Structure 1
Amino acid sequence: MTKYDVIVVGGGAAGLSGALALVRSRRSVLVVDDGTPRNAPAEGVHNYLTRDGVPPAELYALGRDEVIGYGGEFVTGTVTRAQRSADAFTVELADGTAYQGRRLLVTTGLVDVLPDVAGLAERWGKDVLHCPYCHGWEVRDQAIGVLATSSMALHQVQLFRQLSDDVTLFLHTAPEPTEEQWEELAARGISVVQGKVEQVEVENDRLTGLRLEGGTVVPRQALAIQTTLRARSDFLADLGLETTVLEVNGILIGTVVPVDGTGATKVPGVFAAGNLTDPKAQVMPSAAAGLMAAGGLNMNLITEEIELAVAGRSS
């Protein structure tokens, strides 16, 4: 079995950026990717300098070509298990194939767990969105709804109010706003609808409104939601690498894989970057994190190689 210097698990922005830096440092690199990036439903990537609006698939194809140009290799598949031996990591894919690497760079990202509202999942990435910086411009001046599942929606709704004069907060399952928050909503002209949302209404492949329990439909053209973020890291369990729970002001945001400033995890030889470690990172900072983790990983390999060279010289 060929032993690579590095196996990169995940071929999104972080993984490709890390792989590019590593192959340019003359490391043998294999990238394993299952072709399901988090932003696959989006029409375009935004806030990525010189590439604003590029479709995700096109951006990643450009990245793969660059890595291949320096000798990097790719395989399509899903890693289901990772194990460690004395001098290598072995990753097993769902189809039974296996590959070995001296180090792992894990950039598998996360999964957005959506609120349980009928019809919502089918509109995800179209007119149901979550990030005002990623896709807010595309729904500017529209009738925007914000579905509240926690008090975080009070922050989110103010961000979307920057993009449209017609913004409505649907309290749904969130707690009642404080007196101060009610005042802030009123001051900015944000409407508030109480009651649970039952269904997303769609006509001619466009979101047209939200149906409340009881049957009332509130017309809307776009809907912002909060998702729970789940790290895609189950295959790391045999290495003893566990996720930690991320909370903000007592509100569950999701799970992440903790790393230090170099991208190293608590498991020696395993590095991680991107949304797997930082859920708030957009595509550009994810790419930057992949580059930084690649630098840390490369230095980790060099340190080992220095030790082996010194030991060989002394023997």
Structure 2
Amino acid sequence: MNQPLVVGVAGRRVGTRKVMGLIRRRRRQDSVPEPAGEDVAGELAALATEMERDLPEASPAVREAWYRRKGGQRARELIRTLTRVLGRSGLVAAKGAGWGGKALADRLLLAAPRIPIRSLATLRAQHPTAATPEELAELISLGACRSSSALGAGAGAAAMLPVPPAMALEIAAETLSVAAVEIKLIAELHEIYGMPAVGTVAQRAGAYVGAWADGRGIDRAALIRPASLAALAVGSEVRQKLRKRLTRSTLRKLPSLIPLLIGAGIGATMNRRDTRKLANQVRADLTGHKVLDPGYWAAAAPAGERAVEA
């Protein structure tokens, strides 16, 4: 009698014994997720930089078309790379939403220190026309909104010919990619408003991940006490909030899987709206506090502008 055929995690038809072997191997692998890789970090940085370009001479329609085209290209590369990584690590939704939330949280915490965060000096050098923190914050927020929108459209377009195992990986890849874009946004807004997190790279990254899980800026009291920041970065409460936020985000992305490109429009709109809401909340939190160093903005000016600002 032939073995019953079942669909494997990569979409192949394999025998039951082979599936059980795959599950046993993956149980051993799942406890230590593999890093996301430098390709993902590089593509994330490229997407953010591309989406922040001003294009002052172009008409609004031409600008939006350019952002959609360029953003779509970068987003597809990013999701494609991350989907391959997740596929190799065996991260699929077949084990249930609770397991999926934990696996995504572990993956995000592992990758967070690799998310490229620009210093205020770098941001000011890249955007010399921004004369105030508010102007620079708006440019960065717009870039993040365009990036998350492009990622939503990219994942939706990939669902034109849906295959369940591949769809699970696409959703996971988009969820993690948008989370990384928004964590990067939160961190750079803290730089712009003169309230960056302190501590080791891992502690700072963990604090920004916690802020993303809360959907808020980091509390000022924690910013001035490294011990408090370290507790935020590794606390079980933060991990629980992160799992819930990622699970909720994953479920919200299901409409983007509607085929015939309808899902692409839904995913793009939802992502842009959610990222804008987050940016506005974090900016409101940060502007409501006194900066730690009143001279931080002038100190980060490009060399040619320091004398003028002084």
Bigger share in helix: 2
TM-score by length of 2: 0.22
TM-score by length of 1: 0.22
Bigger share in strand: 1
Larger Rg computed on CA atoms: 1
